[in-house]
DNA sequence: CGTGCAATTGAAAGTACTCAAGCCACGTGG
DNA sequence: CCACGTGGCTTGAGTACTTTCAATTGCACG
């Protein structure tokens, strides 16, 4: 289950009643405080000391890097259940900003890591989370390194649709700018690619933030690189 | 310490005598068989079942994905000490190929994971490894998403030089094709970028595989995006 | 001293970017 | 209630950069 799915609140990776790590997780949750963010508000900035790590209760966030000249690259989007703000260093690698109004749990980093280390189950779970995230990051590396604009946008829509797992009317929680920054394109190129996908009958757009896949087969062909 | 450093045998992340996880690691090493590969030989292919994971004893390897049309994206390079071929799924995500003649240790995946799970220290270590790898993958995402060709090549050389940690005569273990596939460029663009870096006096090249940084400051400017 | 492969260079073509307008939905104020 | 402004989205024209295709050079090896 990917972050985009959780963005709609469809599932919870951490803190749900399903996993076997419940008791352990409640130990961690006991150490959490809760913070509310409005859309656009930033939670931390690249380079900050990182005494806390975070978990989304509701809403959606993005993590990104900013280059000297202001260009941005969003590393990932997160939704309900997702844990973020934790790395092998003690400072933040990215800037985190709310895409929508959010509620996040705040864990003291040291406590969090200590509790995780003490539970084989949690360790395993956290390791899986990072393996999956690495997997996703590498998929994006392939996309950024070797796919054209149309292919990137098609791939992105396909993933959003799959993650939302209902065939009708998928919602984009993020702006065109965020999509562009995620896909390594400009706003304009994202728009043009969407227009092209409409022109080819692969998708339709009910509004700027709502789309429907009309022809999954064609969309997949395009995502796979068909001209 | 990054993979490129280990490529020269400068350090060992796993299996060195330095870490505190020695006894645990020896338990794992006891389960290992050893395999020799010649340069160009492939160890596994994307989609293969993954009953084993691997660790380089000597030599250098690359892990890459191939798209339908033959384009490649190399996910990472690995050197002595590096562990690879392991993920959250039970099939391989990449193809692994020897860049030079190699010796690798082969671990049965299940045994490996069981032993790791049984040791807090090893779990911690493996988690750190994956966090670091995710960190590196995201750095590359920024590079691929937002940097131009010259900037990518400059960044790459700087990293190679830093990892080899001797200011003179750095060695490129990989071919131009591998560099191109790593940087999301074509061979030709890599060459032209190298030529441009020479022209600007940032580096010199003793041969196609050996370079020296003449002006680190300028190289860093270029890597940071100076025109 | 050829042969063959890797690396480099050149010219033409293509793709995404920049800059510049328009468009559209929505909220505000007259 | 409607005109107006704002911000996000879309479209267009020209430019810059990377790729593609095509030689050419350089180097290791027989």
Q: What's the CA B192/C1' D7 distance, rounded, in angstroms?
A: 42
Buried b (16+ CB within 10 A) or exposed e, A106-144: bbebebbbebbbebbbbbbbbbebbbbbbbbbbbbbbbb
Shortest distance, CA B65 to any CA of chain A (angstroms): 8
Q: How confident is the model at residue A27 (pLDDT cuts 50, 70, 90)?
A: confident
**pLDDT for residue A4 is more than 90:** no
B176 and B192 in contact (C-beta within 8 Å)?
Answer: no
Shortest CA to C1' contact from A187: nucleotide: D9
- Give the Cβ contact number of residue A89 at 10 Å: 11
Partner-chain contact A141 B73, CB within 8 Å: yes
State the burial class of residue A156 (Cβ atoms within 10 Å of its Cβ: 0-12, 13-18, 19+). buried
Q: What pLDDT score was predicted for residue A2?
A: 44
Partner-chain contact A146 B71, CB within 8 Å: yes
- Comparison of pLDDT for A14 and B17, the residue scoring more: A14
d(CA B76, CA B149) in angstroms, rounded, equals 18
Convert the pLDDT of each residue in B171-208 to its tens digit.
999 999 999 999 999 999 999 999 999 999 999 999 99
Q: How confident is the model at residue A30 (pLDDT cuts 50, 70, 90)?
A: confident
Convert the pLDDT of each residue in A34-54 to its tens digit.
999 999 999 999 999 999 999
Supply the mean pLDDT for chain B. Answer: 90
Partner-chain contact A123 B123, CB within 8 Å: yes
Q: Which residues of A touch B89 (CB under 8 A)?
A: 135
d(CA B42, CA A129) in angstroms, rounded, equals 28
d(CA B148, CA B12) in angstroms, rounded, equals 33
Q: What's the CA B148/C1' D16 distance, rounded, in angstroms?
A: 11
**pLDDT for residue A10 is more than 70:** no
Chain B's closest residue to A70, CA to CA, is B146
A220 and A155 in contact (C-beta within 8 Å)?
Answer: no
Q: What is the pTM of this model?
A: 0.93
Tokens describing residue A5 = 């799915």
Partner-chain contact A146 B184, CB within 8 Å: yes
Shortest distance, CA B185 to any CA of chain A (angstroms): 7
A72 and A180 in contact (C-beta within 8 Å)?
Answer: no
């Amino acid at each position: 289950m990917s972050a985009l799915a959780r963005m709609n609140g469809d599932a919870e990776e951490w803190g749900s009643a399903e996993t076997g790590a419940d008791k352990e997780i409640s130990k961690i949750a006991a150490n959490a405080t809760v913070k509310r963010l409005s859309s656009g508000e930033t939670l931390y900035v690249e380079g900050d000391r990182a005494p806390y790590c975070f978990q989304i209760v509701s809403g959606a966030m993005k993590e990104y890097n900013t280059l000297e000249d202001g260009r941005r690259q969003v590393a990932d989007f997160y939704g309900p259940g997702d844990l973020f703000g934790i790395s092998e260093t003690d400072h933040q690698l990215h800037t985190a900003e709310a895409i929508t109004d959010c509620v996040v749990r705040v864990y003291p980093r040291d406590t969090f890591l200590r509790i995780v280390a003490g539970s084989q189950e949690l360790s395993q779970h956290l390791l899986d989370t990072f393996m999956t995230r690495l997997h996703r990051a590498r998929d994006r590396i392939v996309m950024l390194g070797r796919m054209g604009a149309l292919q990137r946008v098609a791939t992105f829509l396909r993933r959003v649709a799959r993650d939302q797992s209902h065939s009708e009317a998928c919602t984009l929680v993020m702006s065109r700018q965020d999509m562009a920054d995620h896909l390594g394109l400009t706003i304009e190129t994202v728009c043009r690619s969407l227009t092209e996908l409409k022109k080819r009958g692969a998708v339709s757009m009910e509004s700027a933030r709502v789309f429907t896949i009309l022809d999954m087969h064609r969309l997949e062909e395009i995502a796979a690189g068909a001209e």
